[in-house]
Amino acid sequence: MRFWGVRGSIPSPGPRTARYGGNTSCIEVRCGDELLIFDLGTGVRALGEQLPRPVEGHVFVSHYHYDHLQGLPFFTPIFDSTSRLVFHGPTREGQNIAQIISGQMQRPYFPVTTEMVFKAKVSYEPMAEKDRLTIGGAVVTAMELNHPGKSLAYRVDYRGRSVVYATDNEHEARADERLIAFAKNCDMLIYDAMYTDAEYRGETGTAKVGWGHSTWQHGVRIANAAQVKMLALFHHEPTRDDASMDRLLRTVRKHRKATFAAQERQRVEL
């Protein structure tokens, strides 16, 4: 697997974030010959540029907030008529994934529509909690997280290895219990660790309670309870620069050594 976008809420490019990266959520997962893409944040642009044509793959969208869709209009395989892509995602407020993807590229917000420029063979399949999808030898399952408007977590199981993608989640007793069960014994948990507990409670700056995101402390608790092998901190706060990320990671590793903070273009093999 490879991280292409690891930042939360809004892109934060520049020299202060160059090492961890400023692009928003996008992860590439390879299961044998199968390509799975999780979220379409600005990181998906760079992914699209390096994929050999034609591209055949499955795209899983956690939810439809801007930072998870911003890269789609610049994902070049979508304009290649030889490519095939299947989009999976939740139905929200009476609209399925096809309607939502089409709706976010409309004038006057964007100069061209999906109907005008999408040339790839694109199909759409709704995904909901407890759905289980087999793609080649991989099995993908979904679970609802605690986030405004909801967000899907995804678990991928392939040949005895497993990864859980759980971004945009606010910790809460019942939500934690469900995620612990969902991630049980997985090899890697990719978790929304946007804040520290102090930031979340408002001890430094504005309180973040109800904003739909979690802390590294809760990520450690959930990973330990689920007996996860490796914890990947994800959805980094946009104002947290590289030096601050280094300090945060050093602190986290005092509590859970098997942890890393995801960086753009970082490759991980399970």
Phi, psi of 46 (to 5 degrees): -65, -35
Determine whether 49 is exposed, middle or buried from the number of CB atoms within 10 Å of its CB (0-12, 13-18, 19+).
Answer: exposed
DSSP bridge partners of 162: 157
DSSP bridge partners of 55: none
Quick one: pLDDT band at residue 220, thresholds 50, 70, 90? very high
Mean pLDDT for the chain overall: 97
Contact 33, 58 (CB under 8 A): no
Lowest mean pLDDT across 104-108, 121-125, 143-147, 183-187: 104-108
Domain ranges of the chain: 2-261
Q: What is the mean pLDDT of residues 100-128?
A: 92
Phi, psi of 141 (to 5 degrees): -120, 160
- DSSP string for 190-253: EEE--B-HHHHHTSSSS--TTSS--BHHHHHHHHHHTT-SEEEEESB-TT--HHHHHHHHHHHH
**Rounded Cα distance, 64 and 56, in Å:** 22
Q: What is the mean pLDDT of residues 77-93?
A: 97
The pTM (predicted TM-score) of the whole model is 0.97
Quick one: pLDDT band at residue 36, thresholds 50, 70, 90? very high
| Per-residue pLDDT at 146 | 97
| Per-residue pLDDT at 57 | 98
Contact 99, 124 (CB under 8 A): no
The CA-CA-CA angle for residues 172, 10, 57, to 5°, reads 85
Quick one: pLDDT band at residue 20, thresholds 50, 70, 90? very high
Specify the amino acid at residue 26. C
Write out pLDDT tens, residues 169-205: 999 999 999 999 999 999 999 999 999 999 999 999 9
| Distance from the Cα of residue 174 to its chain's centroid | 22
Write out pLDDT tens, residues 90-101: 999 999 999 999
**Rounded Cα distance, 15 and 207, in Å:** 28
SS3 category, 257 = coil
Give the dihedral of Cα atoms 44, 252, 147, 167; nearest 10 deg.
20
Is 269 a residue whose pLDDT tops 90? yes
Query: How many CB atoms are located within 10 Å of the residue 212 CB?
Result: 19
Query: How many CB atoms are located within 10 Å of the residue 129 CB?
Result: 15
DSSP structural state of residue 267: B
**Rounded Cα distance, 116 and 112, in Å:** 6
Specify the amino acid at residue 99. Q
| Per-residue pLDDT at 35 | 98
DSSP bridge partners of 40: none
Is 109 a residue whose pLDDT tops 90? no
Is 104 a residue whose pLDDT tops 90? no
**Which CATH number among 3.50.50.60, 2.102.10.10, 3.60.15.10, 3.10.105.10 corresponds to the domain 2-261?**
3.60.15.10
